């Protein structure tokens, strides 16, 4: 068995990483399009704890906050535990559609990256330590 077997899975992992970087850039832009009314109305107690508000108000976590509201806009039922099922009503239609597409894309890419990455790490370590 040769390490050459890992060449194409490695290329696939690199392609997934590039896709993830592109997604991160798009998310950076989306941060500025999260509806202000949504944030002003729902990013406070009792929907979020004081510590959550503290964490998600500082850099770089203020950029992560956007994805929470994108999920609430795309999948209103996800905010059931926090009592945020009405939050999507403050988001425009295009934001809800974009949120669904971007989050689905992220979940698929990130899950594939992690699974393939774990496999490749084990395989590289095997070839490095046990293979002739």
Partner 1 sequence: MAVPSTAPGPVATTSYRSIYDPVSAHFQLPPTAPMCPKSGPEAFVLNDVPAQDELDFWMLSWLAHNSNYLVIPGSIVAGTQGNLLSGGNIRLLEQVGDLYAQYKSGGITQNQYEYRRRLLLNQFKNNIGPFERFLFGSKTTHEAIRIARAGGVPATANIDHHVDHLKRLASYGKYGGYVLTGVGVAASCMQIADTEDRQKKNEIFVETVASTSVGLAAGFAVTLFLVSNPVGWGTALVIAAGSAAVSYGSGFLARTAYTTFGKEVDFVSGAGVDSVCR
Write out the residues near partner 1 by the rule CB under 8 A.
Answer: 3, 6-7, 10-11, 13-14, 17, 20-21, 23-24, 27, 49-61, 64-65, 67-68, 71-72, 78-82, 84, 103, 106, 110, 113-114, 117-118, 120-121, 124, 128
Q: How far apart are CA 15 and CA 2, in angstroms?
A: 22
Nearer to partner 1, 15 or 97 (CB): 15
Nearer to partner 1, 36 or 50 (CB): 50
Nearer to partner 1, 20 or 39 (CB): 20
What is each CA distance from 40 to 35, 87, 97, in whole angstroms?
9, 11, 21
SS3 120: helix
Smallest gap from Cβ 45 to partner 1, in A, equals: 11
Q: How far apart are CA 109 and CA 93, in angstroms?
A: 25
Radius of gyration of the chain (CA): 19
Smallest gap from Cβ 94 to partner 1, in A, equals: 20
SS3 102: helix
Q: How far apart are CA 115 and CA 35, in angstroms?
A: 34
Smallest gap from Cβ 124 to partner 1, in A, equals: 5
Smallest gap from Cβ 90 to partner 1, in A, equals: 15
């Amino acid at each position: 068995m040769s390490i050459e077997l890992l060449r194409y899975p490695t290329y696939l992992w690199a392609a997934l990483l590039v896709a993830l970087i592109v997604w991160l850039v798009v998310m950076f832009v989306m941060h500025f399009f999260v509806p202000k009314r949504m944030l002003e109305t729902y990013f406070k107690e009792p929907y979020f704890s004081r510590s959550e508000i503290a964490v998600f108000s500082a850099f770089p976590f203020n950029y992560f906050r956007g994805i929470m509201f994108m999920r609430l806009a795309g999948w209103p039922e996800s905010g059931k535990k926090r009592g945020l099922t009405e939050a999507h009503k403050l988001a425009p239609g295009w934001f809800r559609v974009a949120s669904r597409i971007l989050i689905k894309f992220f979940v698929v890419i990130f899950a594939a990256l992690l699974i393939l990455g774990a496999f490749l790490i084990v395989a590289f370590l095997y070839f490095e330590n046990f293979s002739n």
